[in-house]
Structure formats: structure tokens, C-alpha cells
Amino acid sequence: MSEKQELAPSAFNERETIGYCWAIHYKGQLVHREDITFRFRGQGDDILVVKVDGECVLNACGRGTEGFLQPGLGGWSSSSADSRRFYMGNSTAVVGEWITLRAGEPKKMEVVIGEVPGGTFCSMLTVEVEDVEYGRNRQSGPILPMFKTEEPRTHPTRPKSMYY
């Protein structure tokens, strides 16, 4: 097994876990300091799924694994023509559903990332705010900010709250 494959499990103090067939399930709250409408764009090699208030808003699993979690996601697929159009990391990005947050009102959020068959792991989650103009990359895709989480309060791998 390559050292790259071992990096993800070891980052979570799971040094005995093999570098493939693993998943990480984050649970927290999505909250913003002001009213905002946004959507996630992301890519997961192999798994990246985001749920807000129990509804799938992004299934950015890599090609070939995108159906892996579909039974539990209600058959979600992106409605955006830009989905799988622009590269992000080592794959094309999937465009999520629009989400509206009211200032200071948290919503439940879950994120699952994982690696199925082995190889190099790559997962990215970005945020696109409605009606904001973004710079463009060499493919003419938007250059978006990465999704950020609050500093963990109790354990380095279990954030209490997630925010943009």
C-alpha cells in the first residue's frame, strides 16, 4: 500500500486501518452569520455526499461509485447543466442544490467521504453563493471558496458546527 493511501486513516488516528474501504461520517450544524442562498460544488474520489436537514443536496461520488450510495439518497442527481463540466482536483465537479440559510439559524448537516477500491484519494467541497460573480479558471469554470468548518471544540476529528 502506498503512503498516500494511508494518509486519510492516519489523520484520524486510525493507523491500523487500511488505505481503502473506509468512510468518514461527519455530523454537525450548518449555520451562517447572515441570510444566504448558496450551493455546494464538489468532487469525491471515491465518495462525497452532503445532506442538509436529512435531504441530499450533493452526491459528488466519483464516476463508477456515484450509484454506490444511491439507494439511501432517493435517486438524487444534479439538475445543473454545469454538473461534471469543470475539473476540480482529479475529477469533474458536481453541482448541488440551492440552500437558503437564515442568519444564526442552524440546519443539520452530514458529510460522508470515503475511499472504496484503493488508489489516490481526493475530495473537495466548495461553496457558490447565489448572485456572486467569481473569477474563472482556464476551463472557464468558477473559482470558488472551499467550504470551512469551525475549529473543533472537543475532538480534532469531530467538529461541533459547520459553517461557510
Condensed to tens digits (0 to 9), the pLDDT of residues 86-98 reads 999 888 999 999 9
d(CA 77, CA 118): 25
Condensed to tens digits (0 to 9), the pLDDT of residues 108-152 reads 999 998 888 767 788 899 999 999 999 999 999 999 999 987 654
Q: Where do the DSSP E strands lie in the chain?
A: 22-31, 36-45, 47-52, 55-59, 87-88, 91-92, 94-95, 99-101, 107-115, 122-129, 148-149, 162-163
**Domains of the chain (ranges, CATH numbers):** 23-149 (2.60.120)
pLDDT of residue 1: 35
The SS3 call for residue 17 is coil
In the block, which residue shows the cell 474520489? 45
